[in-house]
Amino acid sequence: GCSRVAAQPPALPAPVGYVNDFAGVIPADAKARLDDLTRRVNAATRGEMVIVTLPDLGGRPVEETALRIGREWKIGANAQIGDQARNAGVVILVVPKESASDGRGRCRIETGQGAEGFITDATSGALCREVIPQFQARDYGGAIEYLAVSVADRYAASFGVTLDGQPREV
C-alpha cells in the first residue's frame, strides 16, 4: 500500500473572542480596551478585527499562520455576499520573541478580501515596523493597542462611520 504521512501544521487553539492572548503578554487593562474596540468595530461596520498572540509558530511562516487563523476561525465570513462587510476580516498576529523557539518576534496583519482595499500589505508592514520599539521594550499591550487603533481607524474611514468613543490619534 501507499502510506502517505503529511506533515500536519500544529493545531490552532480555538478562539476565545476577538482578543486571544495565548502568549499571555497583554495586560488586563489593555485587553479590556482592545475587547471594547474590536466590539465597536464589529458594531459599526460588521467587519471583524481579531487580535491573536501565540507563544510560538512551530516553525511555520507567520503569513501562513495568520491566513490559517482567518480561514479556520472564519473571520469576516458572517456577512452576506455582496455586503461591504463580506470577508472584511483582519487578523493582527503577534508572536513575542521571548517565547518564540527561534528567539525572533513576529508581527503580521492579515486581511480578508473585503479589507484589502483599506489595509494593503504595505500598510500592514509599515504598522508592524512602527511598533518595533514597543516590542523591543516588551510593551506588548501598547504595541498591540496601537496596531488595533490604526486598523480600526481604517475600518471606520473605509465604511464611512465613526467608532463611538474611540480616541482619535493626533
What is the SS3 assignment for 20? strand
Query: Rounded mean pLDDT of 69-96?
Result: 88
What tens digit of pLDDT does each residue of 93-114 get?
999 999 999 999 999 999 998 8
For 139, the grid coordinates are: 510593551
Q: Closest Cα partner for 51 from 71, 69, 63?
A: 69
Is the pLDDT reported for residue 120 higher than 50?
yes
Query: Where would I find the H helices in the chain?
Result: 28-45, 62-72, 121-130, 132-136, 140-159
pLDDT band of residue 82 (cuts 50, 70, 90) is: confident
